[in-house]
Amino acid sequence: MVEDFSTRGIVSKQMLQCLWKDMKLSGEEEVMLICLLQKFDLCFEMPQCEDADPYTIQSVPPVYRFPWLLTAIATCMPREIQPDDVVLMVVFQLQNYCPVGLFETLSVKLNKFIKYRKDWQYGIQAVSVVGKNKFELLVQLEPKERSEEILISVQTQNKKLKEAWGIMVLIINATKELLQQWPGVLYCVRVVCPHCLKLGVDKPHRFSGAVLDKTPGGIVVCPKTWDEIDPRLIHPHTTPAQWQQRRKRALEECGKSPAPEEIMMEKQPRYSAKTW
């Protein structure tokens, strides 16, 4: 129990009652105080384990995590990218440093989007469930030479891009909303090229965060590899039909008319820089 408190930031309801013993609170007042702690994003109730016994889960007293108390280092790593996998990654670049308490508060706020999670001092690895689909999330705070970055990534597949972007957009909006509480913090948003991530490119290209709020006017090319990429990988609001229509129009404008079967291919062909 001591290790849970000192390294993992886990506090049981019994421990809270012990800390509040001198306050002589009633049961109702204890419940209200716990609700206030959660309301002000100081802690969250720990979700039950995925393999928990459903017959005994109701008898287990709740435990709460206070991210400010976390000192544990990362003990888990993201799963390797498989051939059919896609990693959506958005980076918040914070100039100079991350304000004290920002990442911890974000950790609490994200709990409403998460079903299962593992936490350490500067990171969260979690699973979000949308319908029958499960998405692996990774949120980390990483120090850089002259800044600090909050990295948010979702691992998914091409056929689940719409649902994955739905989760990603919720987390992005929650982060932006939280940053408004620190009006003096200068930051910019970048979208890491999923194509570069899949190829394992050193220092993958980062698109401007403006792509999150607009749809592409034509073909999207990665400036790092000069490969054409699926616009849905960086534009959340692009549907497959819009993508195919814009791609066909752009190719026709540059004098290349794609074959019908080429338009319908899930993985688009590569073009050299001369094509553009």
pLDDT value at residue 77: 60
Residue-by-residue DSSP string for the chain: -HHHHHHEEEEEHHHHHHHTGGGT--HHHHHHHHHHHHHTTS-EEPPPPTT--TTTGGGSPPEEEEEEEE-PPP---PPPPPTTEEEEEEEEEEES-PPTTHHHHHHHHGGGG-SEEEEETTEEEEEEEETTEEEEEEEEEEE-SSEEEEEEEEEEEGGGHHHHHHHHHHHHHHHHHHHTTSTT--EEEEEE-HHHHHHT-SS--EEEGGGGGS--SS-EE-TTT--EE-GGGT-TT--HHHHHHHHHHHHHHTT----HHHHT-SSPPP--GGG-
Distance CA(42)–CA(36), nearest Å, equals 9
Tell me the domains of the chain and their CATH numbers.
Answer: 2-70 (1.10.10), 85-192 (3.30.310.200), 220-275 (no CATH)
Give pLDDT < 50 ranges for the chain: 50-59, 256-276
Tell me how many degrees the CA angle 106-63-154 measures, rounded to the nearest 5. 35
pLDDT value at residue 54: 43
pLDDT value at residue 69: 84
Q: Are 69 and 5 in contact (CB under 8 A)?
A: yes
Tokens of 261: 């079967």
pLDDT value at residue 188: 92
Cβ-based neighbour number of residue 182 at 10 Å: 15
Half-sphere exposure of 28 (CA within 13 A, CB side): 0
The amino acid occupying position 243 is W
Integer angstrom CA distances of residue 56 from 14, 51, 60, 65, 85:
18, 12, 7, 21, 36
The amino acid occupying position 19 is L
Which residue matches tokens 């309301």? 39
